[in-house]
Amino acid sequence: MSARSALGGEVGTAAIGHVLRPATEADLPACAGIWRDSINDYTRRLNQPDIPDDLGSVLRVYAHLQSTDPTRFIVAERAERSNRGDVTGQAGEPAIDAFIVAFVRDRLWFLSMLFVLPRAQGRGLGRALVAEALRGIGADDDTPEPVAWHATATDTAQPISNGLYSSLGMVPRLPFLRLVGLPERSGAFPPLPEGVAATPFNEIDDTGDGLGRSALAAEVAALDLDAVGVERSVDHDYLAAEGRRGFLYHDRTGAAVGYGYTSESGRVGPVAVSDAALLGAVVGHLVSAVQPRGAFGLWVPGSAGEAIVPLLRAGFRFEGFPVLLCWDRPFGDFSRYLPISPGLL
């Protein structure tokens, strides 16, 4: 069954005046600008602060996804070249009005981002981009797609987008809550259970035969499959390149019971555990293992109460609006998993 038929048929075609094509590396700064300007357009109406102009982190996410899923990173370019250079900043270059980023990990198709400039909204670009991302523009349409689940994460303040995704079967099911702060109150987190120890990824060294790192990758992949339903080694490579510090949690027999990432930048996640009862202790360890340059920030599913309660008791606070995790079919156990971010799951 193709992704299109799984979601109930064709989604739409490109709006007149735009060409849909795979993004190139040169397009990524324009896409980051569209992301910023589109978010600022609606958050200003909610009296929220603007997105900062430093787009380095989102550009690195785009570069990662463009390298792993190039046929699903698609831009909508005006058919006529811009004479004003209002998108690219240089007159005579193609002008991009919208873009979509989706990725496939194992049997999961995930819509990471879909943004349309305010001036180009209401023309059907969003539906057209979703249709092409489901197919994988430039891919062989006759090749069966091993996709079982379709999902996305979307702002609660975006009812039009939420309606579009719901009409395709990806209905909002679960909030992702943003928690920010520092562990200021002792005793809020349970300790790691007796017999459970944490080993930094960078201490699991190869001894020349490659077995150490390959065994670690296999254990992390097994934990991902168990908790969130997919294996995602390419995303773990990205996390390592971003400087996030990984820890493997194992019991006294040596069996892996969880993993998690933390960082001096304050970003925490992903986290996956074999038993939800371990989640609070693992999160507590991660927010004490490094000293962040500012505060820690985590995205926590609303079903992960084992993490939310101790985080709030430790001094963390909710920040901003929740994000809604949407899917057409259930996948994963989000009482045992914290995402990288809403856009990377």
What is the predicted pLDDT for the residue at 56?
87
> Residue 122, Cβ neighbours under 10 Å: how many?
11
What is the predicted pLDDT for the residue at 122?
85
Specify if 225 maps to a domain.
yes
What is the predicted pLDDT for the residue at 10?
37
> Is residue 15 predicted with pLDDT exceeding 60?
no
Mean pLDDT computed over every residue of the chain: 88
CATH of the domain at 263: 3.40.630.90
What is the predicted pLDDT for the residue at 52?
79
What is the predicted pLDDT for the residue at 289?
97
Specify if 153 maps to a domain.
no
- What is the C-alpha to C-alpha distance for residues 48 and 39, in angstroms, rounded to an integer? 10
Same-domain pairing of 142 and 65: yes
Same-domain pairing of 247 and 111: no
| Total domains, the chain | 2
**245 and 269 in contact (C-beta within 8 Å)?**
no
> Residue 113, Cβ neighbours under 10 Å: how many?
22
pLDDT in tens, 125-164: 999 999 999 987 665 544 445 799 999 999 998 888 999 9
Specify if 328 maps to a domain.
yes
Same-domain pairing of 80 and 207: no
Same-domain pairing of 30 and 115: yes
> Is residue 208 predicted with pLDDT exceeding 70?
no
Specify if 159 maps to a domain.
no
Same-domain pairing of 127 and 195: no
CATH of the domain at 24: 3.40.630.30
End-to-end CA distance of the chain: 24
Specify if 92 maps to a domain.
yes
> Is residue 282 predicted with pLDDT exceeding 50?
yes
> Is residue 86 predicted with pLDDT exceeding 50?
no
Same-domain pairing of 125 and 209: no
CA distances from 137 to 14, 72, 161, 193 (A): 12, 6, 22, 49
pLDDT in tens, 158-192: 888 999 999 999 999 999 999 999 999 999 999 99
Peptide bond into 270 cis (omega under 30): yes
Same-domain pairing of 138 and 182: no
Same-domain pairing of 79 and 16: yes
What is the predicted pLDDT for the residue at 141?
47
Same-domain pairing of 141 and 250: no
Specify if 344 maps to a domain.
no
Same-domain pairing of 128 and 33: yes
pLDDT in tens, 48-66: 888 778 888 999 999 999 9
Same-domain pairing of 135 and 185: no
What is the predicted pLDDT for the residue at 90?
47
3-state secondary structure of 181: strand
> Is residue 81 predicted with pLDDT exceeding 60?
no
What is the predicted pLDDT for the residue at 125?
92
What is the predicted pLDDT for the residue at 8?
36
Q: Enter the DSSP assignment of 71.
A: G
Angle (CA) 179 185 189, round 5° = 70
> Is residue 233 predicted with pLDDT exceeding 70?
yes
Specify if 167 maps to a domain.
no
Same-domain pairing of 79 and 188: no
Number of DSSP helices (H) and strands (E) in the chain, helices first: 9, 14
- The DSSP string of 219-272 is HHHHHHHHHHS---HHHHHHHHHTTPEEEEEE-TT--EEEEEEE-TTSB---EE
Domain end position, chosen among 92, 126, 147: 147
Domain range for 40 is: 3-147
- 42 membership: H or E segment, kind and range: helix 28-43
Specify if 133 maps to a domain.
yes
- What is the C-alpha to C-alpha distance for residues 326 and 341, in angstroms, rounded to an integer? 14
